[in-house]
Chain A
Amino acid sequence: MNDFLAHDPDKFEDPLANFDPKEYESSLQEALVERTVGQIPPQPAQRISPTDTVRDAVQKMAQGNLASLLVVDQQGCVIGIFTERDVLDNVAEQYERVADHAISEVMTADPAVVYDSDPSAAAIASIAVAGHRHVPVLGVGGSLIGTLEPRHVFAFMEKYFDK
């Protein structure tokens, strides 16, 4: 008989018996850790192909009143993001020269993303720490769910202000 089976069950001590679940000072603090990004309603993803032109993107943003577009390849993977900041930094002062170039030349490649299973705090970290105002939300397997902006995260937080 091995040592485990020889152990007297009456003398067994559960090593987790003294485990106390984490206590939070407020519901908001708890929500930031225990609630997931998937519980923050995002904006539907606005997609564009990497071969679409800068002019296409600018028109789509202006006519749709959009602040960002996600650049998605043929496999459905997010390979970049094109935001108002990219327009300002990479396009505005030379628009006529780059208007017919592919968006992939002026987008921000490999943007920071959050997964719907991440803690909701991850969305705020992407905005406050990494400095991204538009954060793509991915699901299982990298499927694109939407885009989070500060106002979505703040609205989520407000639900826990008074609890």
Chain B
Amino acid sequence: MNFRKFLQEERVRSLPLKEPAVVDSHTLVRAAIAAMRTKSLGCAVILGPQQQPLGVFTEHAVVGLLEKSVPLDSTAVSACADPEFHVVKLDDPIAKVWSAVQSGARFVCVVDDQQQLVGLTGQRGLAEFVCECFAREIAVQRLSSPQMKTREGA
């Protein structure tokens, strides 16, 4: 299997898409953080009035806000949206997501033909897709912890 060709042939809809945490541009940072925690996601997608993505607010931005002591209760997410903002369509090739991730994006918004947000993918989604494609090689791996004194099969 030529994996590059495979990524060109497979569509984004084949990826395991996550249900995104969504906010609007006026949502305060503290509320966005709560939405991200509820969904166990590292970002919240900022949506416009037609449900189209306008940007993403990420946990990476949260670190910067804390460091600068920015008040979470009076700052809107739109003021600290991530400039690395990528959108793909359901029928785009997965290769487009791969390129976005390798250019530095962690999250990629997935939209339908009306540009409305339908899901979220990115680094994790690609890793899960790779794992499905090579399940016999990847899913059988034993995971280790540094506290393990002996490791079977090492």
Interface residues of A (CB under 8 A from B): 25-26, 28-29, 32-33, 58-59, 61-63, 67, 77-79, 84-85, 87-89, 91-93, 95, 110-115, 117-119, 121-122, 124-131, 133, 136, 138, 142, 149-151, 153-155, 157-158, 160-162
Report the minimal beta-carbon distance from B8 to chain A, rounded to whole angstroms: 11
Residues on B lying within 8 angstroms of A by beta carbon are 1-4, 30, 33-34, 36-37, 42, 58-60, 62-64, 66-68, 72, 98, 101-102, 104, 123-124, 126-128, 130-131, 134, 137-139, 141-147, 151, 154
Given contact pairs A121-B138, A125-B131, A125-B143, A26 touches B66 in the complex (Cβ within 8 A): no
- Contact: A85 with B127, CB < 8 Å? no
Q: Are A138 and B59 in contact (CB-based, < 8 A)?
A: no
In the complex, the answer to whether A110 meets B131 with C-beta atoms within 8 Å is no
| In-complex Cβ contact of A92 among B33, B104, B131 (8 A) | B33
Q: Is the CB of B63 within 8 A of A58?
A: yes
Given contacts A59-B67, A117-B154, A154-B98, contact A125 B3 (CB under 8 A): no
B102 near A62: Cβ-Cβ < 8 Å: no
Q: Which residue of chain A lies nearest to B98 when distances are taken between CB atoms in the complex?
A: A154
B30 to chain A, nearest CB (A): 7
Complex contact B124–A131 (CB within 8 A): yes
B144 contacts across to A, CB distance below 8 A: 112-115, 118
> Is B63 in contact with A110, judged by CB distance below 8 angstroms?
no
| A-B interface contact total, Cβ < 8 Å | 147
**Partner of B3 from A28, A127, A128, A136 at Cβ < 8 Å:** A28
User: Shortest 5 CB-CB distances between A and B: which pairs?
Assistant: A62-B67, A125-B141, A128-B131, A128-B127, A161-B4
Assess whether B2 is in contact with A161, with CB atoms less than 8 Å apart.
yes
The complex places the Cα of A32 from the Cα of B104 at a distance, in Å, of 23
Which A residues are CB-close (under 8 A) to B60? 67, 84
- Other-chain contact of B62, A92, A129, A133, A161 (Cβ < 8 Å): A92
Cα separation A31 to B58 with both chains bound (whole Å): 33
Q: Give the distance in Å from the alpha carbon of A28 to the alpha carbon of B123 in the complex.
A: 19
Contact B59 A87, beta carbon cutoff 8 Å: yes
A107 to chain B, nearest CB (A): 13
B residues near A151, Cβ cutoff 8 Å: 101-102, 104, 123
- Nearest B residue (CB) for A99: B66
B50 to chain A, nearest CB (A): 28
Q: Judging by beta carbons under 8 Å apart, are B128 and A112 in contact?
A: no
